[in-house]
Amino acid sequence: MFQEPGWKGVRRQPSTRNKEGDVACGPPLHNSWRPFTEAFDNRDEDRAARRVLTYINRRLDVFKPQLRSDIIKHRDASIVTLHIPQPRRGIPHEFNILNVYNDGETHAAVHELRRISETLPRISLCAGDFNIQDRTWDEGAVNQIRPSSPFMRLQELFTDLEIQYVHPVNRGTPTRIPDDENSRASVIDLVAASAALINQEGFHYKIKVDDRERWGSDHRPLQIEVPISGNEPEMRCKRKIEAWSEEEDDYVTQICGDIGRMTDNVSESAEELETIMGRVSTAFERAWEAYSEERKPSRHGKKWWNEDYEEDAACSETPIFR
């Protein structure tokens, strides 16, 4: 889970206003990790760049992870649901993960989540950069006792969502290390969870203190251990279509047929075009699932993390793992 991720242009996409196409922005991609975030358009204030990004390892594809944009559409908060067929006792079949970036000036995420709290599903795990200091989790901060203080509003949100703040195993360790050596290190990156998850044996998290793992960010990563399933998820192998095979011919034929039927009645509106592009993506996914076969991963594969990804990660804040 990332807050304020470093987006970059990844490709050009069809546009009704630009013949060369608009630049589509996205996160670093890897075959083993699936990013969950809404599409955005920096030219549209209502669809500005998202400040939260959640990756789910493809080993968890068996849990059918789902970005719940049907529940919340906000640049500073997102929910990803894991559908667990055989959860541990006390863990719900729908395990909802809430990723939050709370702007320190506007506190927009907390305000929005409180406004829609009655429509939200039960949250099992919540984590993010809340930009709120209080002695409850930071011994160097002061207690915020005013009813209208950001801390009290956050506590009310946690109460509404039936979750509670969880201390790390290395309690008191700062999560934000300011670039200014004269400024105080603080705890503003928080984890909250349902009582059922907190009571699970093995659930805990720690603040990683190795500066090399910050990737240039002023936030330390949090490593969270979440025991949710009664069984270890089965590793999914890499899928492949052999070149010049009958499967490749069928794959191309199906895609061309699906896309051909979509383009018969194409509107020039941006909304219709976005809908068509979503259908194109679905067509590729269905054809790939139909004609590709699983292949065991090779131990001779190349490492995916390189200098380009390291530079992108340095622009992000608070990576939260596992």
From CA 198, how far away is CA 224, in angstroms rounded? Answer: 12
Which of the 8 DSSP states describes residue 229? Answer: B
What percentage of the chain reaches a pLDDT higher than 90? Answer: 30
From CA 311, how far away is CA 282, in angstroms rounded? Answer: 31
CATH class held by domain 2-232+300-321: alpha beta
Tens digits of per-residue pLDDT, 154-167? Answer: 999 999 999 999 99
Report angle CA 169, 174, 180 to the nearest 5 degrees. 165
Tens digits of per-residue pLDDT, 185-206? Answer: 888 899 999 999 999 888 999 9
Tokens of 54: 């959640």
Domain ranges of the chain: 2-232+300-321, 238-295
HSE at residue 158, side-chain half, CA atoms within 13 A, is: 20
Tens digits of per-residue pLDDT, 82-127? Answer: 998 888 887 888 999 999 999 988 999 999 999 999 999 999 999 9
